[in-house]
Amino acid sequence: MAEVNIEGKDGTFMVYVAIPEATPAPGIVVAQEIFGVNQVMRETCDWLASQGFVAACPDLFWRIEPGIQLTDQSQAEWDRAFELFGLFDVDKGIEDLKTTLGMLNAHMVSNGKSGTLGYCLGGKLAYLMATRSDADANVGYYGVGLGDLLGEAGSISHPLMLHIAEKDQFSSAEEIAKVQAGLAGNDQVTVHLYEGQDHAFARKGGQHYDAASAELANQRTIDFFKQALA
């Protein structure tokens, strides 16, 4: 587990990398939440490595302020996180994820296949990686704003799995239904709805963490990647 610096189109940024015991292995680019590459994201990479994947989480806020590591435990941190979210350039973030994907595919311990996994803001980015990149598989947890991005759904050519919280406070029943209907005809897309769950139900230690739903979603994710990235 280490931090490395890689060169992107606009400059150099940090990526946290976790490598499994057995290699070569498939890669997964982890797209951060609005809290930066914090302990939760690092532990997510470590968990993926324990499951047999090379995991890499790039600092997507580096253009605003490098090295952001917030928690969800104070109002001040939430305020800063939403400020960063407002300043974040999605298109440039996608370019950073593509750069990280390329780094993983070329890594000496890679089997040449890689996907993306994202949460919240990262869930939105994972969806966009499915529409805008050649990632071999993509998974998004409670992605924000997906209802406005359905126009890109026709570009999805690799497997995509979405975990959606039925009671997501950052969405609505109408938007969730719109997303489900808009993706229903695409055989590359699998959508799982978690009844009664709120946003970030899989963030351990968070206010809405639900162990049973998180375990189910995580197992589905691992099984999905093992099949798609073999």
Decide if 168 is catalytic: yes
Q: Check 96, 136, 168, 210 and give the catalytic one.
A: 168
Strand-pair category, 12-18 with 25-31: unpaired
CA 50/CA 161 separation, integer angstroms: 21
* Bridge partners, residue 114, by sequence: 27
Structure tokens at 80: 């800063």
Distance CA 102, CA 105 (A): 5
For residue 29, the one-letter residue type is V
**Neighbour-count burial of 24, counting CB atoms closer than 10 A to its CB (0-12 exposed, 13-18 middle, 19+ buried):** middle
- The DSSP code for 23 is S
Active-site residue 187, yes or no? no
| Buried b / exposed e along 192-214 (16+ C-beta atoms within 10 A) | eebeebbbbbbbeebebebeebb
Q: Which of 136, 199, 208, 210 is catalytic?
A: 199
Cβ atoms < 10 Å from Cβ of 119 = 28
Instruction: Quote the tokens at residue 69.
Output: 């590591």
Task: Give the catalytic positions in this structure.
Answer: 168, 199
